[in-house]
Amino acid sequence: MSERISTQLLAGAPARDQILDSLRTRIVQAGSPTITLATVLVGDDGPSKRYVASKHKTAAEVGIGSVQVDLPAATTQQELNEVVARLATDSTVHGILVQMPLPNHLDAEQVLRLIPADKDVDGLTSESLGRLVRGLPGHVGCTPLGVLRILEHYKIATAGQHAVVVGRSTLVGYPLSVLLARKGIDCTVTLAHSRTEGLDEICRSADILISATGIAHSITAQHIQPNAVVIDVGISRTENGIVGDVDPEGAMGRARALTPMPGGTGIMTVACLMENTVNAAVLQGIRV
């Protein structure tokens, strides 16, 4: 039986605050140029409305302007497409975010195809993912970027480390695996998923274990190598509240470091959206 070790909690708040403080300073030092983020929300889903509101609040706090387009749930595909196409050609708008998920009758892919890659601050379009794979300037999805920023903030070494990413979604797992293998980050990456055989053994080979499946407490002590760094990206709502993919009882005392859930990777996303918005302005010729 492995000896219990002291597990460091990698709270998201300090990393988030560092990003926002840096952006605020950067904008002021550049003379506070006008940078604008546009959000599009269809319907009146409560969590989506709160999430969009937090984005506008944070934008104001760091010196980014914002435009909020709220559309009724009955909005047609053509109406939504026209709104997004208009924002795409508006030179005063530097970043566009269409809040997901959309109502069932709307096709998200149609909408995403209308967002220019330079304005795709959520990093969701096919071109943004292609730029990531090719190593070209562009925007990384806010959740994968948030994971990287936590690793950087806590000075977790990545070069030459074996990172196992569990979950292959194009929103998190796949882009994160590409990001971690990038030159300068230099992980050796294994991308695992629901059909992976011997998952527990593969996970135990990880120096950095990242789970993004949304399956509550599916990562247990048997998946964790002693002294590994464990990053929990999954989120599940249960009778006992919000929990992550990682069983904290199994990870504490075994992992060297662990992101809490809640309070870990999730609170990084809005800060990374602000980072992407400032970088979008730079790609469009604004000096920041």
- pLDDT for 240 equals 84
Domain membership flag for residue 3: no
Angle, CA 124 vertex, CA 179 and CA 259 arms, to 5°: 50
Q: What is the dihedral of CA 63, 65, 68, 69, to 10 degrees?
A: -150
Same domain membership, residue 59 and residue 147: no
Same domain, 112 and 215: no
Task: Please give the pLDDT value at position 3.
Answer: 79
| Model confidence at 52: pLDDT above 60 | yes
Quote the pLDDT of residue 144.
98
The one catalytic residue in 55, 118, 119, 120 is 55
Strands 241-243 and 236-238: antiparallel
Average pLDDT over residues 85-98: 99
Yes or no: say if 171 and 123 are a contact pair by the CB < 8 Å rule.
Answer: no
For the entire predicted model, the pTM comes to 0.96
* Residue 122 appears among annotated catalytic residues: yes
Nearest alpha-carbon partner for 171 in 207, 147, 188: 147
Averaged pLDDT of the chain: 97
| Active-site option among 118, 122, 245, 247 | 122
Is residue 39 situated within a structural domain?
yes
Range of the domain at 253: 142-267
> pLDDT above 90 covers what percent of the chain?
97
Is 110 tagged catalytic? no
- Let me know if residue 255 belongs to a domain: yes
Number of folded domains that form the chain? 2
> In this structure, are 151 and 95 located in the same domain?
no
Burial of 215 (0-12, 13-18, 19+ CB in 10 A): middle
Convert the pLDDT of each residue in 103-142 to its tens digit.
999 999 999 999 999 999 999 999 999 999 999 999 999 9
What's the whole-number mean pLDDT along residues 34-49? Answer: 97
Q: Is residue 279 part of a domain?
A: no
CB-neighbour burial class of residue 34 (10 A; exposed 0-12, middle 13-18, buried 19+) = exposed
CB 245 within 8 A of CB 234: yes
pLDDT tops 60 at residue 1: no
**Is the per-residue pLDDT at 32 higher than 60?**
yes
* Domain annotation covers residue 24: no
The predicted-structure confidence for 178-225, as pLDDT tens digits, reads as follows 999 999 999 999 999 989 999 999 999 999 999 999 999 999 999 999
Q: At residue 2, does pLDDT exceed 80?
A: no
Span 65-75, pLDDT tens digits = 999 999 999 99
Question: 183 and 251 share a domain?
Answer: yes
- What is the per-residue pLDDT across 146-178, written as a single tens digit (0 to 9) for each? 999 999 999 999 999 999 999 999 999 999 999
232 annotated active-site: no
The answer on 169 and 100 residing in a single domain is: no
At 66, which CATH number? 3.40.50.10860
